[in-house]
Amino acid sequence: MYFAIPQALIFQFFGIPMVGPDTCGFSGNSDMELCNRWMQLSAFFPFYRNHNVLSAISQEAYVWESVAEASRTAMKIRYSLLPYWYTLFYKASTTGEPTIRALFYEFPDDVSLAIPVHIRAGTILPLQVLSPPLRANLRNPDTLQHSADKIHGPCSWH
């Protein structure tokens, strides 16, 4: 999940605005906590789907009640923003403007934003940092330090 944000942002630079990760992860088995966070995060990517390999356990939202609730909440917000997404895609098709951006795209002089773990959609909405915890058992996203020398250990999340 940690790498989903920079990977989606790279596609924005390639001029491919309709991207998104395989929500809940593709390879391997997901669990309730991970799928909950995936559903919350992925709803704010341009492309939103739950998809995994056939040999993995079922990970649809209805498998866990908390995931179903998180999905309903995230989807309500997502659907309320559809007119805005259409505007972002229109701009992407006419000007090449990215639909999602890292904060460093908007604030290039702020070195603390060099690691793209926060994203926002377009520029019209007030600045909303979309960053649920990206690692296991991390309850507060503010505990994730935003500099390369302070992010410890490899991320084994999907």
Domains and CATH numbers, the chain: 4-150 (3.20.20.80)
- Please say if the pLDDT value at position 141 is more than 70: no
- The tokens describing 157, both together, are 């999340």
Of 122, 110, 129, 100, nearest to 13 by C-alpha is: 100
Helices 65-80, 32-42: axis angle to 10 degrees equals 0
Half-sphere exposure of 40 (CA within 13 A, CB side): 16
Of 75, 68, 1, nearest to 32 by C-alpha is: 68
Per residue in 72-118, pLDDT (tens digit) is 998 898 899 899 999 999 999 999 989 888 777 778 888 877 766 66
For residues 65 and 21, give the distance between their C-alpha atoms in angstroms, rounded to a whole number.
Answer: 22
Of residues 131 and 34, which shows the higher confidence score?
A: 34
Per residue in 33-80, pLDDT (tens digit) is 888 888 888 888 888 888 777 777 777 778 889 888 988 998 898 899
* C-beta of residue 128 within 8 angstroms of C-beta of residue 120: yes
Flag whether the pTM goes above 0.85.
no
Helices 82-95, 65-80: axis angle to 10 degrees equals 60
- Please say if the pLDDT value at position 12 is more than 80: yes
